[in-house]
Chain A
Amino acid sequence: MSALFDDYLTEDLFDEVFHDDGSVRPHYVELVDRLRGIAPDDLERRERIRDGIFRTAGITFTVYGDDAGVERTFPMDLVPRIVPAGEWATIERGVAQRVTALNRFLEDLYAGEQAAVRDGVVPRWLVQTAEGFRRQAFGIPVPHAARCLVSGVDLVRDRQGTYVVLEDNLRNPSGISYVLENRAAMTRVLPRAFAEQRVRPVDHYGPMLLRALREVAPPSAGEHPVAVVLTPGVYNSAYFEHAFLARQMGIELVEGRDLVVDEHVVHMRTTQGLKRVDVIYRRVDDDFLDPVVFRPDSALGVPGLLSAARAGNVTIANAIGNGVADDKAFYVFVPDLIRFYLGEEPILPNVATYVLWDDQQRAEVLDRLGELVVKPVAESGGHGMLIGPHASEAEVAAMHDRIVANPRGYIAQELVQLSRHPTLIDGEMEGRHVDLRPFAISGESVEVVPGGLTRVALRKGSLVVNSSQGGGSKDTWVLDAAPGHDATGDDATADDATPDDALRADVIAGGTATEDPVGDLAPSGAASGGRA
């Protein structure tokens, strides 16, 4: 039995594996035993096997900016994250509830009577000034209102272990390829660990996605709708994922120039001639989709695509204009939308958030700036963000001025103490902060893929899971509710979640990066107590 965990410190944070008293949470007992039973050099060997798998598969993302064009891997930690069945049931219901409400809102906004705006649940001006709002999407209905065909809801756990929503990604959330590849690698690196636990599979994601795409095909598509994945091309940072998904579904990966619209019908150019396309799972941002309607200089899109959608001859997924609802300021209103459209209380709470256009909230925030997280609503990937406790006085003062000058431009949030998870760092087990992005698929109904992407900030004390800044990932195991197994989880966590205080606006964090590459997914709003 190795001493792997002997020096492990939970400190004053919520640890995913250990209780505060140092005992192992029941759903981790088998895994911890197994890891303790592996000799240190054997662990190293397994890490090498893992590295080989990822290199060979060419699982990389492209880092923009200084290192433009450099392909990197998104390292997977050897220690998986485990979510017991009971906890998962709550997450699953909570994510499905949230996405259902957002689908309803978006359908109502763009193709319905705009009830939420009319009744003042969401301020009209907020909708109209949101960066992701697209009036060109008006009047284009989406079958089953499945506007967020693929969505990723970023969750973090606070000091008590409660799962809270950090942000919604409703445009082009990426990262699912890592979920599948991590699992494939894990079954080869720690095969026996799987045998001891009933881990719910994830590899049906491809078929699930394809089924949803077919379900949202326009009525004119006939019995065998043709779906394609639309990518900006090989130079896009998430190209690997686009190709991966097309392969998983066995459908064509097309670029804009492969498609042509004739008489409001979309076709792809094949060697056998033009072939009708009914559903487009696009990984191209709204602004580049159709140069007739959006940016005329876009070479990535398809002229006339929107006219085809409007004519009911093609479904574009995710729908155009979803960005209005994953705006950082809009996040505040999601719990109310759940109540409004579903008549239910939100299952997963928001992070406590303050909107700064409200005089009273702004005054309070400006007073407590040194304790809070402030985010510009229009920036992505954590840019321009202030983490009060980590900031200098000058930085706090500068933010103060910016908020006063442009209150609509910012929101403020309470610090969240991100939970930590034991992670293998240079052969030692150390606690690192994690978040969780479950993926939901909307077709005729909303389904959540068991698990999701757990991102981990590999740098000590860091809250940034951004892969270009030392972020990594973990395979995420959702345990099956099996008889005789502790399926419910040991901690009262998400089930205890209380609905937000309605007066205090909710909050969000994170980026509005539209393509939202995994490399850019820092849960930037979440900051811990900084005790590590």
Chain B
Amino acid sequence: MLARLAENLFWAGRYVERAEDTARMADVTYHTLLESPTREITESWEQLLDVLYLRAEYGDTPIDVDGVMRFLVLDASNPGSITASVSRARENARSVRELISSELWEAINDLHLALGRRDLQEDLLDQPHELFAFVRRGSMTIYGVASETMPRDEGWRFMALGRLLERAEMTCRLIDVRYAQLEALAGPSRRLGGARGEVPRGADRADFHHWIAVLKSASAFEAYRRRYRSSMDPADVVEFLLLEPDLPRSVLYCLTGAMHQLEVLRQGEPSRATRRLGRATSSLQYRDVAELFEVGLHELLDSVQNRVADVAEAVADEFFRHHPDGELRAIATS
């Protein structure tokens, strides 16, 4: 298929996922902070901006709940805001309308139009959870419709690949933001990601509901309960969200799924993208959670994100950016 259209599908997949995951992260941050002192709230929102790499875009505006939430949800100047992501997903889908099912186009268009009809400012003040749930449902509808109406052709695979890579990154960030917040609360003396012995198993009961919130925001709470019963150990939660092979939002699940799509797309031929993805996957796959904490969780999450970004870059090079004569000409004509 045409490289441009494949890229449109890849990005349509990414942007829908980005909107959903941003909603999930804002939701969990907002609700876990409802009962916290103001100073902590400010710090937590700051950390959220950090893990989303949006601190610079946010600018000098004072950081508070309303400001950051507006920025994340409806700020047109924020390329990663929910409305901007949905609108970009729609633009990408619009250019491939010939290739996607009309139901899929309608689902994406509906979400875009529905967000346009809502009074988002009011929603944020009044019932942010309802708004975030709405975005999540809209995104899941889109993937449900895609899954039920699209033939498993190249186009579908690029869209799935984009979604899985985006989700892998965003789940890393979801863990990271919670972790950073906890770490900050705990203070420098109780660094969670310290030496092996300091893995905070069954630690602080006050953190309990924070981790529940993280699991819920990844739609993983029930599954976690069944798996770990009553234990609510941060290390278990992190392990579950990172390494659980059968959890659709776990990082490992996403990377394995992405590898499957890539292998079909490459028709089994090895490539830079598959090699990079393989390395990212194995950097997680064969570790146990204690080891992960040993490296420093934040550093690990960071490196997984970087590796995923490298995979996306390699995918773009291999599938989307063909030039007649290698790199030099690519630069000259781009």
Contacts and interface: CB of A to CB of B under 8 A. Distances in A.
Interface of A: 233-234, 243, 246-247, 252-255, 257-258, 260, 262-263, 267-271, 273-274, 303
Interface string B132-173: 000000000000000000000010001000000000000000
A260 B323 CA distance: 8
A246 B323 CA distance: 24
Contact of A268 (B2, B154, B323): B2
Contacts of B323: 260
B98 A247 contact: yes
Interface in B1-46: 1-4, 6
Given A234-B94, A243-B98, A260-B333, A270 B324 contact: no
Nearest to A255: B4
B219 interface: no
5 contacts: A243-B97, A260-B333, A270-B2, A271-B1, A271-B320
Contacts, number: 48
B333 A271 contact: no
B122 interface: no
Nearest to B321: A269
A267 B324 contact: yes
A274 B324 contact: yes
A269 B3 contact: yes
Residue of B1, B2, B94 with most chain A CB atoms under a 10 A cut-off: B2
A303 B320 CA distance: 19
A267 B98 CA distance: 22
Contacts of A253: 98
Contacts of A270: 1-3, 322
B58 interface: no
Contacts of A267: 322, 324
A258 B4 contact: yes
A421 to B, nearest CB: 34
Contacts of A271: 1-3, 6, 154, 158, 265, 319-320
A253 B95 CA distance: 11
Closest A-B pairs by Cβ, 3 of them: A262-B324, A269-B3, A271-B319
Contact of B322 (A246, A255, A263, A274): A274
Interface of B: 1-4, 6, 94-95, 97-98, 154, 158, 265, 319-325, 333
Nearest to A268: B2
A271 to B, nearest CB: 5
Residue of A254, A255, A263, A269 with most chain B CB atoms under a 10 A cut-off: A269
Contacts of A257: 4
A258 B3 CA distance: 7
A258 B94 contact: no
Contacts of B325: 262
Contact of A269 (B2, B98, B154, B158): B2
Residue of A233, A267, A270 with most chain B CB atoms under a 10 A cut-off: A270
A273 B6 CA distance: 12
Contact of A260 (B94, B154, B158, B324): B324
A306 to B, nearest CB: 17
A313 to B, nearest CB: 14
A255 B4 CA distance: 9
Contacts of B6: 271
Nearest to B4: A258
Contacts of B319: 271
B94 A269 contact: no
Contacts of B3: 258, 269-271
A268 B321 CA distance: 11
Contacts of B324: 260, 262-263, 267, 274
A254 B321 CA distance: 15
Given A262-B324, A263-B324, A274-B324, 19 more contacts: A234-B95, A243-B98, A246-B98, A252-B2, A253-B98, A260-B323, A260-B324, A260-B333, A262-B325, A267-B322, A269-B3, A269-B4, A269-B320, A269-B321, A270-B1, A270-B322, A271-B1, A271-B154, A271-B320
A247 B3 CA distance: 18
Contacts of B94: 234
A258 B324 CA distance: 12
A253 B5 CA distance: 10
B95 A273 contact: no
Contacts of A274: 322, 324
Contacts of B322: 260, 267, 269-270, 273-274
Contact of B2 (A234, A254, A260, A262): A254
A38 B294 CA distance: 83
A252 B319 CA distance: 17
A234 B96 CA distance: 10
A255 B3 CA distance: 11
A190 to B, nearest CB: 26
Contacts of A273: 322
A266 to B, nearest CB: 11
A435 B320 CA distance: 46
Residue of B3, B97, B320 with most chain A CB atoms under a 10 A cut-off: B3
Nearest to A57: B102
A3 B321 CA distance: 65
A267 B94 CA distance: 24
Contacts of B154: 271
Contacts of A258: 2-4
Nearest to B333: A260
A262 B332 CA distance: 13
Nearest to B91: A234
A303 B324 CA distance: 13
Nearest to A265: B324
A260 B158 CA distance: 23
Residue of B1, B97, B322, B333 with most chain A CB atoms under a 10 A cut-off: B322
B190 to A, nearest CB: 50
A271 B289 CA distance: 38
A124 to B, nearest CB: 40
A255 B95 CA distance: 11
Contacts of A268: 2
A270 B95 CA distance: 16
Contacts of A260: 322-324, 333
A66 B323 CA distance: 41
A268 B4 CA distance: 10
B121 to A, nearest CB: 27
A254 B333 CA distance: 18
Contacts of B1: 270-271
Contacts of B95: 233-234
A275 to B, nearest CB: 9
B91 to A, nearest CB: 9
Residue of A233, A253, A271, A273 with most chain B CB atoms under a 10 A cut-off: A271
Nearest to A244: B98
A255 B94 CA distance: 14
A70 to B, nearest CB: 16
Nearest to B324: A262
A294 to B, nearest CB: 18
Contacts of A233: 95
A270 B322 CA distance: 8
A263 B324 CA distance: 9
A268 B322 CA distance: 9
Nearest to B154: A271
Contacts of B320: 269, 271
A240 to B, nearest CB: 10
A398 to B, nearest CB: 45
Contacts of A262: 324-325
A458 B178 CA distance: 65
A260 B325 CA distance: 11
Contacts of A303: 333
Contacts of B4: 255, 257-258, 269
A267 B329 CA distance: 15
